Amino acid sequence: MTMTNLLDFDLDGLAAYCEQLGEKRFRATQLFRWIHQRGARDFSQMTDLAKSLRDKLATRATMAALPVISEHTSADGTVKWLFDVGDGNAIETVFIPEDDRGTLCVSSQAGCAVGCRFCSTGHQGFSRNLSTGEILAQLWWAEHTLRERFRLQAVSADPRSTDNGKPGIPLAGAAERVITNVVMMGMGEPLQNYRALVPALKVMLDDHGYGLSRRRVTVSTSGVVPMMERLMQDCPVAMAVSLHAPNDPLRDHLVPLNKKYPLAELLATCKAYLAHAPRDFITFEYCMLDGVNDQPEHAQQLIDLVRTHDVRCKFNLIPFNPFPASGLTRSPHAVVQAFGRRLNEAGIVTTVRKTRGDDIDAACGQLAGDVKDRTRAASRMAERRVVMMQTEPAPRAARP
C-alpha cells in the first residue's frame, strides 16, 4: 500500500483525509497539532488519539522527512541543510538566527526555470516542482530539530544566548518557536509552483500549525504577474519582488521573465497587491552588480519608476555573491552605499542586506544544491556571453 504523506495536507486536506478514515474533524486538528506544533515523527507519540486510530494511521500514513545529505553551521550561526529530494536532486534550506527573530529560507523547486543571470540556482536549470509535503518538510525539520537542539544548549540566564559562543536565537521557553519568519527565497520561483505553495503557506499561518502571522511569511517572486494576482486573493502574505534592474532592456537581460511580464505590468500588480497585503509596502530586492545596474542613473531610474507607479516600497540592496559561470562581479562597498543613499534621500527606505553564512555558501544566490538540469539551462547560459547592457530604455518587442 502506498503510504500517504500527512505533510502534504493543510488542515482542510487533513480533515478530508480523516473523514475517509471515518474520523471527525477534531481528530484531524489533534493530529495536525501533533505533527506541526509538537513535531511528532511517530504515531505512537500521539497519546491522546485512540489507539485504534494510531494503529490505522501507522499502516497507511507517514510524516515523510527529507533525507539530510549534509548540514553546515556558519561561524555566524547560520545553518544550511542540503536535503535529498530523490532522482539525483538536492535542495537547500537555510536558518538565519538574529537577536529578535529566526528566519528560515525555504526552497520551492529543485532548480529554477527563470534563469536569472546572477543566480547560481538559475544557472543549474530546472528539474521539478516540490510537493507541499517537501516544502513543509523543510520547516517541520528545521523547527523541531533546532527546538530540540537549542533547548539542550540554552543554559544561559539570557534566553537569547547559547553556551556555545554562537549568536543566540529567540528561545525564551520550551513552547517558544525557533522559527519566527519564513521567506520563500530558497531554490526556485515559488509562484511557478503555486498549487503546492498555497497549502504550505496555509499550514505556516494556521494557529494549529506554525501560527505565523501573514507579515512574517514572505513570498519572493521574480514577477509572475498572474500568480501574484491569484495570491492576493487566495493567501495574501508579505510580498518581495526580485527587481534587480530599473528599466526593461536591462531587466530583460538579468531576469528573462521580464520579457513576458515587463516592468509597467509588474509595478501595477505590486500596487494592486498592496490593497490585500499584510504590510503596507512591497520589498524590492536588488542585487548589486558591478558596472551593470549600480550606477547613479540606475538609482534615479528606480526612483522615477516607483514614483510613476506610486508603489509604496522598501529596497533591499543585496551584495552579489560571485560564481564563475556568471561573468559578473560584486559592486564595491562604496558604490552600494552611495546607491542606497540616493534612494534614501529620495524618501525610499533602503537597506543593505548583511551577508550571512558566506563561509558555507548560504548567502543569497548561492543556493545551488545539486540539480539534474533537464532544461540544459546551464550550457545555454554558458554559451551566451554576459553583455553589459546599455541602460537607456529602448523600444520593446511585442509581448509573446
Residue numbers in the known binding site are 112, 116, 119, 188-189, 220, 242-244, 321
One symbol per residue from 194 to 233: x for binding ligand SF4 (CB under 6 A), - otherwise; what is it? ----------------------------x-----------
C-alpha 125/C-alpha 110 separation (Å) is 9
Of 242, 258, 283, 331, the residue at the interface with ligand SF4 (CB under 6 A) is 242
Q: Does 115 participate in binding ligand SF4 (rule CB under 6 A)?
A: yes
Residue 237 CB burial class (10 angstroms; 0-12, 13-18, ≥19): buried
Backbone angles phi, psi at 155, to 5 degrees: -105, -5
Instruction: Give min distance, CB of 201 to ligand SF4, in A.
Output: 18
Residue carrying the nine cell digits 526580485: 242
Strand 79-84, strand 68-73: pairing: antiparallel
C-alpha 269/C-alpha 103 separation (Å) is 27
Active site residue 92: yes
Q: Does 319 participate in binding ligand SF4 (rule CB under 6 A)?
A: no
C-alpha 231/C-alpha 211 separation (Å) is 19
Instruction: Give min distance, CB of 265 to ligand SF4, in A.
Output: 17
Q: Does 85 participate in binding ligand SF4 (rule CB under 6 A)?
A: no
- The alpha carbon of residue 364 and the mean position of all alpha carbons in its chain are separated, in whole angstroms, by 10
Of 98, 134, 189, 248, the residue at the interface with ligand SF4 (CB under 6 A) is 189
Residues 6+ apart with CB under 8 A from 57: 21, 31, 43
| Among 92, 98, 134, 143, the one annotated catalytic | 92
Q: Does 89 participate in binding ligand SF4 (rule CB under 6 A)?
A: no
Of 168, 188, 209, 369, the residue at the interface with ligand SF4 (CB under 6 A) is 188
Q: Does 90 participate in binding ligand SF4 (rule CB under 6 A)?
A: no
- The alpha carbon of residue 387 and the mean position of all alpha carbons in its chain are separated, in whole angstroms, by 29
Instruction: Give min distance, CB of 289 to ligand SF4, in A.
Output: 13
Q: How many CB atoms lie within 10 A of CB 149?
A: 15
Please identify, using beta-carbon distances, which residue of 169 and 185 lies nearer to ligand SF4.
Answer: 185
Annotated binding-site residues for S-adenosyl-L-methionine read 188-189, 220, 242-244, 321
Residue nearest to ligand SF4 (CB): 122
Annotated binding-site residues for [4Fe-4S] cluster read 112, 116, 119
Name the amino acid, one letter, at 56: K
Per CB under 6 A, which region of 35-43, 73-81, 118-126, 339-347 contacts ligand SF4? 118-126
Which helix or strand (DSSP H or E) is residue 79 part of?
A: strand 79-84
Per CB under 6 A, which region of 33-41, 117-125, 262-270, 326-334 contacts ligand SF4? 117-125
Instruction: Give min distance, CB of 227 to ligand SF4, in A.
Output: 12
Grid coordinates belonging to 235: 493567501
Please identify, using beta-carbon distances, which residue of 222 and 301 lies nearer to ligand SF4.
Answer: 222
Residues 6+ apart with CB under 8 A from 227: 191, 192, 194, 221
Grid coordinates belonging to 348: 525610499
C-alpha 122/C-alpha 29 separation (Å) is 39
Residue 155 CB burial class (10 angstroms; 0-12, 13-18, ≥19): exposed
Please identify, using beta-carbon distances, which residue of 167 and 186 lies nearer to ligand SF4.
Answer: 186
Of 49, 116, 182, 362, the residue at the interface with ligand SF4 (CB under 6 A) is 116
Beta bridge partners of 285: 242, 316
| Ranges within 94-113 binding ligand SF4 (CB under 6 A) | 112
Any idea which residues carry the catalytic annotation? 92, 364
Binding site for ligand SF4 (CB under 6 A): 112, 114-116, 119, 121-122, 187-189, 222, 242
